[in-house]
Amino acid sequence: MNTDTSADSGGGTAIDRRGFLGMATAAAAAALHAPAVAATGHPSGAAKLALVTDGLQFPEGPMAMADGSIVVVEMRRRTLTRIDPQGRHEIIAELGGGPNGAAIGPDGAAYVANNGGAWGWAEGDSNMPGPPPAVYEGGSIQRVDLRTGRYTTLYDHCDGKPLNSPNDLVFDGKGGFWFTCYGQTDNEVRRLGGLYYARADGSDIKRWRSAQISPNGVALSPDGRTVYMADCMLGRLYAFDLTATGALPPEVPNSPLAPGRVIATLPGYQWLDSMKVEASGRVCVATLFNGGITVFERSGRYYHVPSPDPVTTNLVFGGADMRDVWITASSSGRLYRRRWPRPGLRLAHYA
């Protein structure tokens, strides 16, 4: 695979499987040798990973704040947590369930996609998902006041059905946000997920795509006319062209047709997680098992930038020039930072 091996892993190799609890099987290892489709603009070999902090419990949903801090969810600890520039941790709110993704809303609050505790946790320090709960009742979208830590539940149902493991969300700057539900399994039967749009004031929610295998990351194009969705277990990046604010063409019920345009499907055993978009329009998707960031061009060409943790779940752009990128390394409980060759897209509602 066309990979960048320059990243400093803070004591490990470029792709370090420590803390993987044996999940790096032959199938996962084979992904490291799967062919990639070459793309342009590969990050410079001079760019190095810097460890910002460790000791987190499955960090996800990073948000780059104006004061230089990074706010993340800790899924295993069930908190919203602030990390200051010196790497110190401060718990903002204890949210319960399984906080999974987060974004700043139009009122300056943090909005959290909480999967509701869709899975348990394996024993040990590696922060890996374990068996599903005996009873699962669904998740929610929460609004968190960053000053007080108080939170409210904005949505927990759509069309009378519980939200099935909310995973990630992105605001469009027009009073609403797109979010995904990943789905949930009892290890025999899988409840499928979907793609949703909702208003930040709690007034409306709509499911635009249903019966999807494992919707995960979601992002908007720079012009706001395309919403991207990663199907995690399929390793597939979809694009959906909006017909209006918060609207897609109606889905075709019980149809085998693709729910949107397929940008690319990764070969081998690679899962796609959460994502952010560059100002150029390239889509940067955190990648599991072949740990790192996969960068997709709209043509479908892509390349891979490895990180030290095979469970690399999310990233966020920030800094004065939007070329700093923070990366959540979830199984090892670490947050990394590196320079990026191009600026990221500034998200709606971030100062």
Residue 342 — pLDDT band, cuts 50, 70, 90?
very high
What pLDDT is stored for residue 46 in this prediction? 43
Task: Give strand pairing partners of 264.
Answer: 237
Inform me whether the pLDDT recorded for 21 exceeds 70: no
Number of residues in the chain? 351
Mean pLDDT within 217-240: 98
Mean pLDDT within 85-107: 98
Rounded to whole angstroms, the Cα distance separating 180 from 195 reads 5
Tokens linked to 99: 């906080």
Mean pLDDT within 266-278: 98
Rounded to whole angstroms, the Cα distance separating 229 from 70 reads 24
> pLDDT (tens digit, 9 = 90+) per residue, 113-159?
999 999 999 888 788 899 999 999 999 999 999 999 999 999 999 99
Inform me whether the pLDDT recorded for 36 exceeds 60: no
Inform me whether the pLDDT recorded for 345 exceeds 50: yes
Percent of the chain with pLDDT over 90: 81
Inform me whether the pLDDT recorded for 307 exceeds 60: yes
Inform me whether the pLDDT recorded for 38 exceeds 50: no
Q: Which fold has domain 26-339?
A: Neuraminidase (2.120.10)
Mean pLDDT within 248-271: 92
Percent of the chain with pLDDT over 70: 87
Helix (H) or strand (E) holding 102: strand 99-104
What pLDDT is stored for residue 255 in this prediction? 78
What pLDDT is stored for residue 23 in this prediction? 41
Cβ neighbours, 10 Å, residue 125 = 12
CB neighbour class for 66 (10 Å; exposed up to 12, middle 13-18, buried from 19): exposed
Phi-psi region of 107 (alpha: psi -120 to 50; beta: other; left: phi over 0): alpha
DSSP characters over 210-229: EEES-EEEEEE-TTSSEEEE
Tokens linked to 57: 């419990």
What pLDDT is stored for residue 2 in this prediction? 36
Sign of the torsion formed by the C-alpha atoms of 344, 228, 137 and 125: negative
Between 12-16, 174-178, 306-310, the lowest mean confidence (pLDDT) is in 12-16
What is the pTM (predicted TM-score) of this model? Answer: 0.89
Phi-psi region of 189 (alpha: psi -120 to 50; beta: other; left: phi over 0): beta
What pLDDT is stored for residue 42 in this prediction? 56
Mean pLDDT within 61-82: 98
What pLDDT is stored for residue 253 in this prediction? 81
Average pLDDT, the chain: 89
What pLDDT is stored for residue 256 in this prediction? 76
Closest-CA residue to 140 (of 82, 60, 198): 198
Inform me whether the pLDDT recorded for 187 exceeds 70: yes
